[in-house]
A and B are shown apart, each in its own frame.
Chain A
Amino acid sequence: AQRVTQPEKLLSVFKGAPVELKCNYSYSGSPELFWYVQYSRQRLQLLLRHISRESIKGFTADLNKGETSFHLKKPFAQEEDSAMYYCALNTGGFKTIFGAGTRLFVKA
């Protein structure tokens, strides 16, 4: 079955520290992977997608097909990065499968 796993419900780091939000997926074909973010009192929005290979707000994510992972990384966390982050998988159809989310809390 297609599934997205985000093992951490909560991740707390200090400002300036590196951050990595883990995402693993189960799908045997060629996946399309996304990270969505929801800031406090805002709507869910796309942060980045793996096919774009771009860095958004200092975040990057590399698709590792061998490990079936798509971890989100940032070298120096900022307080404004505090938010809920969702990893999502699309297998080519209309259905996007979301993980349960990780709440990132960046402490001053």
Chain B
Amino acid sequence: GAGVSQSPRYKVAKRGQDVALRCDPISGHVSLFWYQQALGQGPEFLTYFQNEAQLDKSGLPSDRFFAERPEGSVSTLKIQRTQQEDSAVYLCASSIDSNQPQHFGDGTRLSIL
């Protein structure tokens, strides 16, 4: 595809359930970023991958959050035992390398009931 693809677009889960969010970056993009965007706020950095290596996960809010990119392309963000405060839009972005402009997906809107 022409851009970063994220699925699902919307996810509703009950508190305590596990969720998995998928990001398909632009082909050939080495760098992949995950962000969390709460209502009325800007995106907040969660984690960064360079190919399959997770080089920075300093933004993950707790050990319930886990991200992987096993083959250096598609990435999955998993949230275990979801809490209401996890409700947000989760954005994925990719770039040719970490110094180049990031291309964003449409995001996944996660609602925890």
**Which residues in A have some Cβ–Cβ distance to B below 8 Å?**
4, 9, 32, 34, 43-46, 49, 86, 88, 93-101
Could you tell me the distance in whole angstroms from the C-beta of B14 to the nearest C-beta in chain A? 28
Q: Which of B48, B59, B104 contacts A44 (CB 8 A)?
A: B104
Whether A94 touches B43, Cβ cut-off 8 Å, given contacts A43-B106, A44-B104, is: no
B residues 69-113 in Cβ contact with A at 8 Å: 91, 93, 98-99, 101-107
**Which residues in B have some Cβ–Cβ distance to A below 8 Å?**
3-4, 31, 33, 35, 40-45, 48, 50, 55-56, 58-59, 91, 93, 98-99, 101-107
Q: What residues of chain A lie closer than 8 Å to B107, measured between beta carbons?
A: 43
Q: What residues of chain A lie closer than 8 Å to B101, measured between beta carbons?
A: 34, 46, 49
Q: What residues of chain A lie closer than 8 Å to B98, measured between beta carbons?
A: 94
Cα distance, A96 to B48, chains bound together (Å): 10
Contact at B104–A43, with CB atoms within 8 Å? yes
Q: What residues of chain B lie closer than 8 Å to A88, measured between beta carbons?
A: 42
Whether A95 touches B48, Cβ cut-off 8 Å, given contacts A43-B104, A43-B106, A44-B104, is: yes
20 A–B contacts, CB within 8 A, in A order: A4-B42, A9-B40, A32-B99, A43-B105, A44-B43, A44-B93, A44-B104, A46-B101, A49-B101, A93-B56, A94-B33, A94-B45, A94-B48, A94-B50, A95-B58, A96-B45, A96-B102, A100-B41, A101-B41, A101-B42
